[in-house]
Chain A
Amino acid sequence: DVKVTQSSRYLVKRTGEKVFLECVQDMDHENMFWYRQDPGLGLRLIYFSYDVKMKEKGDIPEGYSVSREKKERFSLILESASTNQTSMYLCASSLLGYYGYTFGSGTRLTVV
């Protein structure tokens, strides 16, 4: 079965901390995505990547960065966590040019 694994299901961090959210896929997919989901706002795209070391900004990239050193791994970095980054973070992957995404189970991040 195809799989997207997010390293943590729940995470609590302090304001100002640097936070790493990790995502690994085992399907050899070219595309990887990071979304955040908040009540009433739906899913919003933060960053995506279509190849190793390639990245593109999504709709809400401010306060985030990403890293893709290997094809199977896409990391989301919160340089200095703030309380407004408390959210559910969802990672997804897909084949190049294909919109059948596979999502991970999500990481619920709370910044206190």
Chain B
Amino acid sequence: DAKTTQPTSMDCAEGRAANLPCNHSTISGNEYVYWYRQIHSQGPQYIIHGLKNNETNEMASLIITEDRKSSTLILPHATLRDTAVYYCIVRDLNTGTASKLTFGTGTRLQVTL
């Protein structure tokens, strides 16, 4: 699986867009980019995933560069409730039955007033 690199921490003002970067320079052609977040004292929560096209859902947008070596998770209007650790994970779908994920240490996003 491709390794990912994320900043350890970031701050964002409430109401502003939070842009969380992730580098995955060794990503291969059939590997997806997944994003999860973990709010304090809760289990991680799936946010979004993508292969090469940009994706958007009710929680966030995912922008993947054309060479697929990096991506950015965008929370368009961050609120205090978005304060969490955000994990970027790269994973190949074609691994048979063992669809297991490895979580790194992620980016701690602090949303402030």
Q: Footprint of B on A, CB under 8 Å?
A: 4, 30-31, 33, 35, 40, 42-43, 45, 48, 50-51, 56, 58-59, 90-92, 94, 96-106
Contacts and interface: CB of A to CB of B under 8 A. Distances in A.
Contact of A106 (B41, B100, B103, B104): B41
A58 B100 contact: yes
Given A42-B106, A101-B44, A50 B91 contact: no
Given A103-B45, A105-B42, A106-B42, A42 B103 contact: yes
A56 to B, nearest CB: 6
Given A45-B100, A101-B46, A103-B44, 13 more contacts: A31-B97, A31-B100, A33-B100, A40-B105, A42-B103, A92-B44, A94-B99, A96-B99, A97-B96, A100-B34, A101-B36, A103-B45, A106-B41
B1 to A, nearest CB: 11
A56 B99 CA distance: 11
B99 A97 contact: yes
A90 to B, nearest CB: 5
B43 A50 contact: no
Contacts of B13: none
